[in-house]
Structure 1
Amino acid sequence: MYQLNLAELSVAEFLNQYWQKKPLLIKGGFKHFVDPLTADELAGLATEEEIESRIVSCVDKQWDMQTGPFEDFSEFGDKGWTLLVQAVDHWHPLAAKLLDPFRFIPNWRIDDLMVSFSTPGGGVGPHLDQYDVFIIQGEGKRHWRVGMPDSNLQQLCPHPRLLQVSPFVDCIDVITEPGDILYIPPGCPHDGISVENSLNYSVGFRAPAQKDLLTGLADHLIDNDISGQRFSDAKRSAATSVGRIDETDLNQIQQLLQQLVADRNQLPHWFGNLITRAKHELDLNEPDPHYGEDEIAEYIDEGSVLSRTGGLRCCYYQQHNDSDLLLFINGDQITLPPDELLTAQLLCDNTELAAAENRHFISSAQRLLLLTNLINQGYWYFSE
């Protein structure tokens, strides 16, 4: 539905020249852009308890931030504020289509689609993020300034829940129009101020920190009751100071930890589970009553189309062609036989499965059972 236009750049050239290196204005990145939702629809999402939303405003140079759900927007006036709604792709199937053109980056790196509505003068102030983002201009216009990473920038906190940066030198200064796209790498300061009522769509990417990875590994070890090797010191010499931690002991502790992290037998299991867990609530609609396998087969025979629930994270891993396939869906692992690569690819590489693709799942009882279970969990649903 949305086709990314990189002008004279190929995807490979974009990745080589810009990805995580420098910002880029993609003028007319989406030709003849049509907003997938309206400002009123976005406001409607912000009234829901389970959807994360916030409003950032600045009046007389005084910054404020309030978190949703919101019942009334009239108190904010007609200028100087921005409504931001996280994970809109979880709740709005048409908006979720905006993620598809950016899937030249692996699924596990894609975070969510944040959508913002700003009144004239609205923005969140100059700031930087620790992840890549594509910002798509929808309805209206916005004045953007983007700079390169600068270690001299200072963090500012004009409000207890707002983190901004000191003034920066820009390398991009532009007023974006519908269909324009800004690519901003991690650490690049940027500031967007709405010229008129406007919508923006931010496609964010995950960049797990070492802390998050180690926490995920610790959770995996606890959940699976894996203790690993214990410290041992059969060649210990008598201590000259019993209160001292010496370098030999620290080296051995470090080696124990490194061996744990370096275990490639465990790595795909805990990482796959960690990286496919939803960060925001999913709009799961579990069918009631559950479908039987014969009903699923009948729908597929009739040519029905399957859609994946917005925000559902799916990845797979196969070390060798003759090794089992590990399929990860929403933090759970499903082990498939080595020859089921196409099954894993269909489920992970597509957000919609056409009638011809669905027939793959009725060609074996095991595939049909797998698909039935996924549909009954609300992960996939018949859209036609």
Structure 2
Amino acid sequence: MNLLGGLTPEAFLRDYWQKKPLVIEQAFPGFECPVSPDELAGLACEEAVESRIVIENDAGKPWQLHNGPFDPERFERLPEQDWTLLIQGLDHWVPEIADLLDAFRFIPNWRLDDIMASYAPRGGSVGPHYDQYDVFLLQAQGHRRWHFGGQCDHTSGRVQGTPLRILSDWRPEQTDVVLAPGDMLYLPPGVGHHGVAEDDCITLSIGFRAPTVDDVLTGFTDFLCSRNDVSRHLADPDLTVQANPGLIAPPVIERLDGLIREQLSDPRQLALWFGQYATAPKNADIVVPAETPAADADLAEAIRAGEALRWNEGSRFAYHDFADQTALFVDGEQYLLNGDARALAPLLCAGARIDMAALAPLMDDPALVGLMTRLYNQGSVYIDSP
């Protein structure tokens, strides 16, 4: 594998990450797509799968968007070319697609969004646009011609009459870059790009998203309000008579400022909120309980016997070290680990396929056996049978 075109992860993060695009020839040499166009169409008919179809010219309307799930007959009515099928979160449903993420573990788990599949016949695209996240565009089947470059934002001109954010007057800095299977293009946020299928092609978009300021402010304050007593009222026993009752006096603002700073100044609470927020599943259909719940003793025996455990493809794992504890976050829940038990968190979070040889010795701790059983029964991990 030549994931970063000969660059070390350190060099890539220093010189390209969120700075400029990078074309990587044969990032995955000899790559063969684990899913076929027919399988993608089948997924698009499933209620739990987020799917969309984009048609460039739909009865005279530009770049029209249709949301799934779709009836199988819908694909028979599509034109021969100039349309695209998008399957969001393909890694949640196809283990072989989820395995691709292990190549990108030099980027923190909490930054991962998902892997989206884009199938298009000749001429198909989703139009010139930009995204607000980092993305690696891996060509999985066929060929796609890319035009990209130039920073875009909310002031960039857009095509009217479409629900999509299609750029109207964008001028790419680099044109006619054709990717073949195994080639990959990295794009930072805000960089305009337009990929057009040269033939029947599948592109996999490995996306990495960061929260907005609004996400952080509203999410953290909601978290604080759910954990603290916020029903008490502001007190002003030192109130004095004002010359004008309409004045909001400086001491009032100072008191409000102190209250807000007091609530927001605990980094422990911030870490606990962010761990839960960053690992929350994208929807309720992804992580489902095990069909047959396991007992502690049975799961411990399976682990000691070397049975392979792996993450649910839609599960999210992360951890944070405090001075006295380690917080493990799995699918929006937190688990505080003490003493020798702290070693479990980095072990579980290192990759989707858990190191069973390292996990087995930890099963001497009944509390950790109970935790692993809980993760298994809630569907966050499962036994990966050969």
Q: TM exceeds 0.5? A: yes
In structure 2, the CA distance between the partners of 1:150 and 1:93, relative to structure 1 (3 Å rule), is: closer
Tell me the distance in 2 between the aligned counterparts of 1:294 and 1:282.
28
Compared CA separation, residues 63 and 39, structure 1 to 2 (3 A): same
Kindly provide the amino acid, as one letter, of the partner of residue 91 in structure 1.
Answer: W
Matches of 1:297 and 1:114, distance apart in 2: 36
Aligned to 2:374: 373
After superposition, residues 1-384 of structure 1 pair within 5 angstroms as 3-59=1-57, 62-71=62-71, 72=73, 73-150=75-152, 154-173=156-175, 174-227=177-230, 231-233=234-236, 238-245=241-248, 249-250=252-253, 252-320=255-323, 323-384=324-385
**CA–CA distance in structure 2, aligned partners of residues 225 and 107 of structure 1:** 29
Distance between the aligned counterparts of 1:285 and 1:232, measured in 2?
Answer: 47
Deviates more, 1:332-341 or 1:139-148: 332-341
CA contact (8 A) 1:132 1:183 kept: yes
Structure 1 223/158 Cα, relative in aligned 2: closer, same or farther at 3 Å? same
Aligned residues of 2:116 and 2:205 also touching (Cα < 8 A)? yes
CA distance in 2, matches of 1:218, 1:371: 31
Shift in alpha-carbon separation, 1:162–1:150, aligned structure 2, 3 A: closer
Unaligned runs of 5+ in 1: none
Amino acid at match of 1:68: G
Determine if contact 1:126/1:167 at 8 Å carries over to the other structure. no
Contact 2:158 2:169 in 1 (8 A): no
Offset of 1:281 from its aligned partner?
Answer: 4.0
Q: How far apart are the structure 2 equivalents of 1:39 and 1:264?
A: 47
Could you state the TM-score of these two structures normalised by the residue count of structure 1? 0.92
Which residue identity does 1:104 align to in structure 2? F
What secondary structure is seen at the aligned counterpart in 2 of 1:163?
Answer: coil
Q: The residue matched to 2:339 in structure 1 has which SS?
A: coil
Q: Which moved more, 1:67-76 or 1:221-230?
A: 221-230
For residues 262 and 228 of structure 1, what CA distance do their matches in structure 2 show?
19
Residue type at the aligned position of 2:102: D
Structure 1 residues 92, 158: closer, same or farther in 2, change over 3 A? farther
Q: Which runs of 5+ in 2 are unaligned?
A: none
Instruction: For 1:31, give the aligned amino acid.
Output: P
CA distance, structure 1, for counterparts of residue 193 and residue 250 of structure 2: 45
Cα deviation code 1:11-34 (max 9, x no counterpart)? 111100010111111111111111
1:249 is displaced (CA, Å) by 3.9
Task: Report the more deviating stretch, 327-336 or 237-246.
Answer: 237-246
CA distance in 2, matches of 1:370, 1:29: 38
- Residue 21 of structure 1 aligns with an amino acid whose one-letter code is K
CA change 1:234–1:381 in 2 (3 A) is: same
Question: Residues of 1 paired with 2:21 and 2:188: CA distance?
Answer: 6
Question: Bigger CA drift: 157-166 or 262-271?
Answer: 157-166
Say if 1:359 and 1:163 are closer, same or farther in 2 by CA, change over 3 A: same
Counterpart secondary structure, 2:358: helix
How far does the alpha carbon of each residue in 1:253-286 deviate from its partner, in whole angstroms, 9 at most, with x for none?
A: 3443344333213111111111111123443353
Greater Cα shift, 157-166 or 71-80: 157-166
> CA 1:164–1:112 in 2, change beyond 3 Å: closer, same or farther?
same
Shift of 1:9: 1.3
Identity of aligned residues (%): 37
Displacement after TM superposition at 1:291 (Å)? 0.9
How many Å separate the matches in 1 of 2:267 and 2:232?
15
Q: In the TM superposition, what is the alpha-carbon distance from 1:137 to its structure 2 partner?
A: 0.7
Counterpart secondary structure, 1:374: helix
- The CA distance in 2 between the partners of 1:61 and 1:289, in whole Å, is 50
- Counterpart Cα distance in 2 of 1:272 and 1:152: 30
- Alignment length (residue pairs): 380
Inter-partner Cα distance in structure 2 for 1:271 and 1:213: 8
Look up the SS of the partner of 1:340 in the other structure.
helix
C-alpha distance in structure 1 between counterparts of 2:257 and 2:148, whole Å = 41
Does the 8 Å contact 1:134/1:181 carry over to 2? yes
